[in-house]
Amino acid sequence: MAKKSMLEREKKRELAVQKYAAKRQALKEAGDWEALSKLPRNASPTRLHNRCKLTGRPHGYMRKFGICRNQFRDLAYNGDIPGIRKASW
């Protein structure tokens, strides 16, 4: 499990990105790079990092499922993910 502070920091960044998205788009279209650079750093979407929804793990993230590979494996073995089963040949 990831530290609670890291999870909260990511949530805070997501809120900042949503808050400034319209303003950021307008400044980009206007070509006002000076004003764009004065926006908060965490308002940039590139500052976001994908994390597992269950554990908060930042590595081994599977975008299609929104979870890390470890949790995916456990859930798949238990049959909790529809349409996924262990391969055998």
Q: What is the pLDDT of residue 1?
A: 81
Q: What fold, for 50-89?
A: 30s Ribosomal Protein S14; Chain N (4.10.830)
Residue 56 φ/ψ region, left for φ over 0, alpha for ψ in the -120 to 50 degree band, beta for the rest: left
Q: How far apart are CA 66 and CA 32, in angstroms?
A: 35
**Domain range list for the chain:** 1-49, 50-89
Band (89; pLDDT cuts 50, 70, 90): confident
pLDDT of residue 86: 83
Integer Cα distance of 59 and 52 in angstroms: 8
Q: pTM higher than 0.95 for the full model?
A: no
pLDDT in tens, 12-62: 999 999 999 999 999 999 999 999 999 999 999 999 999 999 999 999 999
pLDDT confidence band for 2 (50 / 70 / 90) = confident
The neighbouring-strand residues paired with 81 are none
Q: How far is the C-alpha of 36 from the C-alpha of 45, rounded, in Å?
A: 13
